Amino acid sequence: MSAATEVRRRIDAYLDEIDQIIAQSKPGQGLFGFGTSPKNDPCNERFLTGMQSWFEQFALTAPLSDETEEVMEVVFTAQEERRQDFVFFMLSAIHGMTIPLIDCLSPDAAERLAAAYERRIPRTQRMPVQLKLLDDLYRRAGKQPKKRGFFGRR
């Protein structure tokens, strides 16, 4: 099984588990701190820690640029299909986990990923970890990161 397929499998398993939890939850569950809400379910933490350890192990294998690019592409496109805020943020959080993989990319691959990332995620919705990821991709591509905000401040 390829690394990209494994990442996709892990993300799909998490999304299936969350969908089951949402389907089984009662209206108002978790409201005002009573009961548990799907966004507070332990499966969210399991997903994040599992992905973190998988990315760390993957980085240790010194993957090829093409394989790394495929993995990062899967991660970057996963959030496009979800509407629930907490799931969107969980899928966004794993973007930061790919930062150590940037060194495995070729400069051309880093440039392609940076350009696709810029198109995919609107500037107004980028979180600090996503800005760091984008800056690191540009640096790997041999380009100066883009300045943001008034007078180049972030």
Give me the half-sphere count of Cα atoms (radius 13 Å) on the Cβ side of residue 70: 13
Question: CA-to-CA distance for 56 and 96, rounded, in angstroms?
Answer: 12
Note the pTM of the prediction, 2 decimals.
Answer: 0.83
Q: How many CB atoms lie within 10 A of CB 35?
A: 12
Q: What is the pLDDT of residue 122?
A: 82
Q: What is the pLDDT of residue 7?
A: 95
Q: What is the pLDDT of residue 32?
A: 54
Q: What is the pLDDT of residue 101?
A: 93
Q: What is the pLDDT of residue 67?
A: 95
- Could you tell me the residue ranges of all domains in the chain? 3-143
Give the chain's residues under pLDDT 70: 26-37, 81-84, 147-154
